[in-house]
Amino acid sequence: MNAYFLIINVGSTSVKTALFSTGLLAQAFVNADYGEQGLTLEVKAANAASIHHQQAGEHDAKTALTAVFSHWQQLLAANAWTVVAIGHRVVHGGDSFTGLVAITDDLLARLPQLDAYAPLHNPVNRLGMAMAAEALPSVAQFAVFDTAFHRQIPGYAGRYALPNNLPTSMAFYRYGFHGISCQHSVTAAAELLGKPAKELNLIILHLGGGASATAVRNGISVDTSMGFSPTEGLMMASRCGDIDPMIAIALQKSGMTLSELEAMLNHQCGLKGVAGDTDMRVILHGAEQNEPLAVLALAMFCYRIKKYIGAYYAILGDLSALVFTGGIGFHAASVRSQILQGMAHLGLVLDEIANSTTNDNNQDISAADSRSRILVVNAEEEREIARQIQAFLGY
């Protein structure tokens, strides 16, 4: 029997799914983008042409998942693929989950308690589990939490300086996110450097629509820029990142409602707030044309990252490698170059030729005299989930 793992990653506006062999070779993908503007589906199986479908009208996670699972049932039957496990990315595990867990009735009863921590993501993650159980009722399901990688962050780095007796049931802590991507980066860095993960000190820059920096000592997360929510830390596509909290209070006093404030901080700030666009490619083109706001947005984005590199270098002392990952981190050579300007004193020297000639593979782009290595790693969260299932089941 040919056995496969089906990985489900449900986001607030997208569904990403992939099928991996037990040897972690990708066999097929079915992805969907959904929202008020319609539903766009992309289906890709190995050695076959991509199939694109578009449906007009407003679509939500349920209709997107219905379409995705319909395609999977066709693909599985046509190729005689047998799914032995389904893995789900769950954004928030609170302080309860530190690794992969089997999805049981007990787990399903506990997960709704975490919805308040990630209201846009955890409910649709649970919906993915329910619909996967309907589509493939006899297949074991597993959950991997994006916060789990950061659960060993020490209290002095994780706690906020808030009173002990706040009148709320929520636990305010630096939970961190992008953990699945970070774990994949640790594994990839170990392979590129030829060293065990437990010997590596890394700074991982996951730069995409959401952006974060993570300090890793001996393969374990010891600090990360995202905190109680994904809004803290670096400047992002539409999230504000670090700001003075009194700004939010001043805006509320001036008449902005809580819902307006939340929408602004998460959807109208960052690159969009400064330069009017969330797409780094548009920002880079504008900067090349010397458009003032694009130049400013790019400089702010890179400067904030540079500050976090310096802070985490101070924490780690010895740095094995700086890792760029995420859509921007992996693809935007000019962003990497601007971030690393003037960093030679920290032992980070970029090979500009290697940086400008990267391909789809994970690579070392550091100069020969760079004291610490500089790596580019493709963010493969679905593959990392499959890897964890493979290790758990012993395939």
Provide the residue type at 93 as one letter.
G
Q: Supply 234's token pair.
A: 């670096």
Tokens of 44: 């890709």
- Exposure string (b/e) for 24-44, b if CB count within 10 Å is 16 or more? eebbbbbbbbbeeeebbbebb
Judge contact between 221 and 99, C-beta under 8 A.
no
Q: Tell me how far apart the alpha carbons of residues 210 and 230 are, in angstroms, rounded to a whole number.
A: 8
Q: How many CB atoms lie within 10 A of CB 9?
A: 23
Q: What distance in Å separates the CA atoms of residue 294 and residue 256, rounded to the nearest whole number?
A: 27
**DSSP label at 262?**
H
Q: Quote the CA–CA distance of 224 and 340 in Å, as a whole number.
A: 20
Residue where the block lists tokens 């994949």: 184
Active site residues: 146
Euclidean distance between CA atoms 74 and 48, whole angstroms: 14
